Structure 1
Amino acid sequence: MRRFVEFINTGSEELAQELISPDAVFHVPGRPEPMRGPAGYLAVIGMMRSGFPDIQWTLEEMISENDKVAARFTMRGTHHGSFFGVPPTGKTIAVQAMNFYRLSGGQLVEERGQPDLLGLLMQIGAVPPPGA
């Protein structure tokens, strides 16, 4: 998982090929169809980086059992690009994400990620906070 965090923080195509199975499936919130393989995961990272070019993930905790890993991340970055149609605000974010992975042969073969998109949208001012 530490190498995976290096991959998501750098967007390295070389690490993508090493760590992600060509048959991998990534279930992305808001997308009706999963993304697939290293190119699919690089596209997810590209989408995040288009809105937050300096985004970095920190692995806060992890639990693993057999071929499955549950991980809690904090994503931090600055809103310098359009994200979900919201123009850049220059605001910083610190957002939690809970992801579940399945591995096989030393590679990721499946991910189900659940970032706190509501919290992110509140932090960039796209959604008012409760009671506002």
Structure 2
Amino acid sequence: MSATTETTKAIFARLHESMNSADPDVVAKTIDELFDPNVELGTPLPIGTTGVEAVKQVWSLLLHAFPDLDVHVEDVIAEGDKLVCRNTVTGTHEGDFMGIAPTGKRISYKEIMIFRVASGRITKTWGVVDTLSQLRQLGAIPTP
């Protein structure tokens, strides 16, 4: 069953609120509630799992590396069962991230995410994350 625009926005608002809680348990619980267990991820991830477990693992890694992670929504466009958001993500690098030891640096990067909702759950995601900017700010890649 396809979602309405209002349902899709409500699910995203709940997800966004949990992401900014800085509480890995809250984020994991919300992911379990809002994502289909077999969610399809349209973004390649450097982890060895799929579905909802992959989403939880990504958030666990992010919150370990950036405990004060903040996702600021710049734009939201929703139509029926799809929602697109453009975000600015900020955080202080206090834990290992992609093999990079903590630097204490505050970073900021952009991302665009797309979600598809069916039967009250997120069933598919696509994302474009500015990893180059992340790595440059952490000193892993030199800035030209």
Q: 5+ unaligned residues in a row in structure 1: which ranges?
A: none
How far 1:56 sits from its partner (Å)?
1.5
Question: Which is richer in strand?
Answer: 1
Aligned-CA RMSD value: 1.9
Query: 1:41-75, CA deviations, whole angstroms, 9 ceiling, x for partnerless residues?
Result: 11110111222121121111111122111111111
Highest relative contact order (Cα 8 Å, sep 6+), 1 or 2? 2
Q: Equivalences for 1:7-26 in 2 at 5 Å?
A: 7-10=18-21, 11=24, 12=26, 13-26=28-41
* 2:21 counterpart of 1:6: no
Partner of 1:74: 88
Give 1:33 deviation, angstroms.
7.0
Consecutive unaligned residues in structure 2, runs of 5 or more? 1-11
> Could you tell me how far 1:34 is from its partner in structure 2?
6.8
Distance 2:49 2:77 in 1: 24
Task: Name the one with the larger helix percent.
Answer: 2
State the alpha-carbon separation in 1 of the partners of residues 40 and 19 from structure 2.
Answer: 16
What are the residue-to-residue correspondences of 1:105-116 with 2, within 5 Å?
105-116=119-130
- Percent identity, aligned pairs only, is 31
Which digits, 9 at most, give the CA deviation of each residue in 1:12-35, with x for residues without a partner?
233222211122122343448773
Q: What is the distance in 2 between the residues matched to 1:70 and 1:100? A: 4
TM-score by length of 1: 0.86
For residues 13 and 32 of structure 2, what CA distance do their matches in structure 1 show? 16
Q: Which amino acid aligns with 2:31?
A: A
| Contact 1:93/1:124 (<8 A) preserved | yes
The equivalent residue for 1:118 is: 132
Give the ranges of 4+ consecutive aligned residues of structure 1 lying more than 6 Å apart after TM superposition: none
Aligned residues: 129
